[in-house]
């Protein structure tokens, strides 16, 4: 994600596709509605988060053509103590990026 300065190969993705009858959404949303949940290291600025949400929305608007009103983005920032790598809490390593 260019908004966060993350290299293309430095991310983990999980895709959950649900059958329409298993996904409840507002009546105003189309069958193209998409919910995107971003979990990232804490400390990114409000401007970076806004840019990431805008970047995702614009990209999905271009391809595959999902209307902005059908794109819902949720961001979460668990503390470094709430994630681990190689058997150690991430707080042992510190932040791998600059906050701004």
pLDDT tens digits, 7-56: 777 777 888 888 888 888 888 888 899 999 999 888 889 999 999 999 99
Number of neighbours of residue 86 by Cβ within 10 angstroms? 7
Is residue 42 classed as helix, strand or coil in its secondary structure? coil
Please state the domain extents for the chain: 30-91
Give CATH superfamily name and number for 30-91.
Answer: Macrophage Migration Inhibitory Factor (3.30.429.10)
Bridge-based pairing of strands 34-39 and 71-76 is parallel
pLDDT range class, residue 65, cuts 50, 70, 90: very high
**Distance (Å, whole) CA 64 – CA 79:** 34
User: pTM of this prediction?
Assistant: 0.78
Q: Out of 26-30, 55-59, 60-64, which region has the weakest mean confidence (pLDDT)?
A: 26-30
């Amino acid at each position: 994600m260019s908004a966060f300065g993350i290299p293309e190969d430095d991310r983990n993705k999980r895709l959950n596709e649900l059958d329409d009858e298993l996904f409840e959404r507002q009546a105003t949303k189309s069958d193209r509605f998409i919910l995107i949940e971003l979990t990232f290291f804490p400390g990114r600025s409000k401007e970076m988060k806004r840019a990431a949400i805008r970047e995702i929305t614009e990209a999905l608007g271009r391809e595959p053509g999902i209307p902005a009103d059908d794109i819902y983005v949720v961001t979460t920032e668990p503390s470094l103590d709430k994630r681990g790598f190689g058997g150690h809490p991430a707080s042992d390593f510190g932040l791998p990026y600059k906050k701004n």
